[in-house]
Amino acid sequence: MVPGASESHELQRTIDALHSRYKPLTDGDVASYIPELTKANPEHFGICIATAEGAVFETGDCDRAFTIQSISKPFTFGMAIEAYGAETVAKYVGVEPSGDVFNSIELMSGSNRPHNPMINAGAITVSALLHARYGDEAFDLILERFSTAAGRRLTIDADVFESERRTGHRNRAIAHLLLNFGLVHDAAERALDVYFKQCSILVTCRDLAMMGATLANMGKHPITGAQAYEIPSVRSMLSIMFTCGMYDYSGEWAYRVGVPAKSGVAGGVIAVVNRQLGIATYSPRLDKHGNSARGIEVCVELASRFGLHAFDCLNVGSGFLQVIL
Ligand code: DON
């Protein structure tokens, strides 16, 4: 818990109880396909909730740094939308769930575009768009934007970057397939470096909760007041997180939890309750979909306990009808 949040607050008591309940859960395995990630401690476990007003509730390992990995994808997607406009970005990458693993080597039949920006093919396309626009400054701009969303200066883990760059043959294959279809510019290797670097940005569970709270707060960091993303891009980011953020578990996630979310192979999960909360968990053991096993259980319970699901009866939704009737 941090200053400003009360020990007796129901959110604090709930996350403390969930931490105790799921600490003994040892299902799943730490990611090993990127050699450097095997060094993660499987016991680490943190839960953090930040409100759109800036109150923070946390328990467990919320200060440990780990790499953001795929949780970077909605945040670079938002940057691409702001750089090119949603219509142009749509010519390069779709918004359909793929129902397939995150690193599958496939494009949509007919259009030969990646299904969506949350799977690797779509995310590499987005990084290439940013590289095409900003050249070798692209990564610095990404780091700056993520830092604004988190409310503090972030850095990268150079060892994870090198490890991923050295062993990322599958992503290299995807990038060259994209190059073949003209979705990635000729500097495909430089674009891949942007992608590998964005995945290697170090965050804590608290940073992720704050980044989530920034999205919940219409793109504005709840404490610093800095506008990290424009309001229309936040809507696009949250939509794609809702439908595609948890890979081939996205449908079940939408059914059981019902909020926009994104996971990363280092063990982070970010979830956003629109206009209300950023939720983050950190636990490196992953299930068969590549999502944090403890993270999923915690989010399912939080959603059910507090009625967070977008279609929960407690969620009153848009006030539009009251205005016009
Ligand atoms: O492309 C990769 O393999 C990683 N850098 C990111 C993948 C990732 O986090 C998938 N998430 N569950």
Catalytic annotation, pick one of 73, 197, 220, 262: 73
Residue 265 appears among annotated catalytic residues: yes
Going from the first residue of the chain to its last (325 residues), give the mean pLDDT of each consecutive group of 10, the final group possibly shorter.
67 97 97 94 98 97 98 98 98 93 90 95 98 97 98 98 96 96 94 98 98 98 98 98 94 96 98 97 96 97 95 80 71
Structure tokens at 307: 């009625």
Helices (H), 72-187: 72-84, 86-92, 120-134, 138-150, 158-167, 169-180
Quick one: pLDDT at residue 325?
A: 66
* Residue 185: Cβ within 10 Å count: 14
Quick one: pLDDT at residue 4?
A: 53
Structure tokens at 205: 């569970």
CA angle 99/95/262 to nearest 5° reads 65
Ligand 1: which residues within 6 Å by Cβ?
A: 69-70, 102-103, 120, 164, 171, 199, 263-265, 290
- Which residue minimizes the CA distance to atom 4 of ligand 1? 69
Residue 288 appears among annotated catalytic residues: no
Helix (H) or strand (E) holding 279: strand 277-282
Catalytic annotation, pick one of 22, 84, 195, 229: 195
How much distance in Å is there from the Cα of 249 to the middle of ligand 1? 15
Residue 250 appears among annotated catalytic residues: no
How much distance in Å is there from the Cα of 112 to the middle of ligand 1? 22
Q: Does residue 105 contact residue 125 with C-beta atoms inside 8 Å? A: no
Structure tokens at 199: 């995945």
